[in-house]
A = this chain, B = another copy of it.
Amino acid sequence: MRVSIINIGDELLIGQVVNTNASWMSQQFVANGMDVAKVYVISDNKKEIKETLELALQLTDAIVVTGGLGPTKDDITKKTLCEFFDSDMVEDQATFEVISSIFKKRGYPMTDTNRQQAFVPRCCTVLLNKRGTAPGMWFERDGKVVVSLPGVPFEMQYLMDEEVIPRMLDYFKVGFIMHKNLLFHGIGESFLSDKIESWELSLPSTIKLAYLPKAGMLRLRLTGRCMDKERLEQDINTSVKGLYALVGEYILGEDAESLAELVALRMKQYAKTLSVVESCSGGAIASTITSMAGASEYFKGGVVAYSNEVKHSMLGVHESTLMQYGAVSEETVKEMVCGIMQKMNTDYAVATTGIAGPGGGTDEKPVGTVWIAVASKNEIHTQKMSFGDDRLRTIERTVNQTFANLLRLMNKELCGK
């Protein structure tokens, strides 16, 4: 079953906004056994929208459109869809109530323009948007489906999860889907694919494999698709066993999509606590941890020790250490991790210090040099990395490397691996 995505919005065409909606949606469709055939990015233009809809309807079974549902003049998707399906506008009561409640909460007065958002083409099924003022819309024609969603990612994502995916699975009879995620670290994509080539070739026809590398971390996803649920589970389990036999030492864990999720699972599972101190990662580790619900169960807190002054005053890193070895050194990162662990009294702690760049590099310590420490009550593990000269990439890789090192320490101490 093939899907087209149409993202509408001039902000995409001028590059002001990166089209993360398309990749997020594609992931969801693929994860649910649907193929994304094409992505179109077009402007808020009636003619363009109609032509692209016609074209996509010829090529694919379902079309999901995002954007152009705002209250302002340049948002014309809804009117265009109404014309495209030869329908007329009617007010949707449920949507009207959501809109009024949102404006009550935010304390803004509700204008006629806002009220217009409650109107939808008569021929569509409304997908109630509980996160915003623009409703989703589901249209059917000749066994094909056209869905319109707001472009705001958190509204679009809510409607995809709650309405679009379930309805499409039902409408297009996609069958059972099962996923198994395995998180690898310390092995490159091409090396892994060489090592498991024979295993991959012998996978049952029900199972598809995806390599999902990201910032130094590699996720392998097995997606099983079959009408027979039991057989599906069997196939997945057998395949996973085979994989452990071949490359088990690189597998940090299962059933999580990121190393951060895996850290959270382990921490809760073994009732351990964590604190962090960050220099070059600047809060990205803490922020990644606290973005996940339930973080307060194991995460006590952290310090963003950006200046040397703070490394000394808040964590007790010795001025002599900073003077003699510098802020980016094994000695400093050790004192940082010990300092935070003691101050916050946790079972585990991590520390990062490095040169994210673009400035601050030297011949001896070029931009991208990062020291990482992970510690338990029993041991401290330190590592020096060179992540190159891209600031955001260095931060992202520092976060993943830190989580990976923490997981190896926890696996050793807690799971005896």
Contact = CB atoms under 8 A, between A and B. Distances in A.
B189 A71 contact: yes
Nearest to A192: B72
Interface string A272-305: 0000101001111111011101111001111111
Contacts of A213: 70, 152
Contact of A36 (B13, B40, B74, B108): B13
A370 to B, nearest CB: 13
Contact of A210 (B14, B200, B306, B388): B14
A190 interface: yes
B313 A343 contact: yes
Given A71-B190, A212-B16, A282 B290 contact: yes
A353 interface: no
Interface string A8-23: 0011111111111011
Contact of A15 (B23, B289, B293): B23
A17 B213 CA distance: 9
B39 A43 contact: no
Given A73-B193, A111-B191, A154-B390, A306 B314 contact: no
Interface of A is mostly: mixed
A366 B358 CA distance: 43
A42 interface: yes
Given A12-B23, A19-B22, A310-B344, A392 B300 contact: no
B26 A14 contact: yes
A266 interface: no
Contact of A23 (B19, B106, B278): B19
A122 interface: no
Contact of A189 (B72, B210, B314): B72
Interface string A158-186: 00000000000000000000000000000
Contacts of A55: 55
A48 B56 CA distance: 12
A290 B314 contact: no
A109 interface: yes
Contacts of A309: 300, 344-345
A392 B167 CA distance: 25
A46 interface: no
A23 B27 contact: no
A84 interface: no
B188 A106 contact: yes
Interface string A32-54: 00011111111100001000000
Contacts of A23: 12, 15-19
Contacts of A13: 26, 30, 35-39
A305 B388 CA distance: 32
Nearest to A282: B290
A21 to B, nearest CB: 10
A143 interface: no
Nearest to A18: B23
A276 B20 CA distance: 29
Given A113-B193, A283-B286, A300-B310, A211 B70 contact: yes
7 contacts: A14-B26, A22-B41, A38-B48, A70-B211, A131-B393, A294-B359, A309-B344
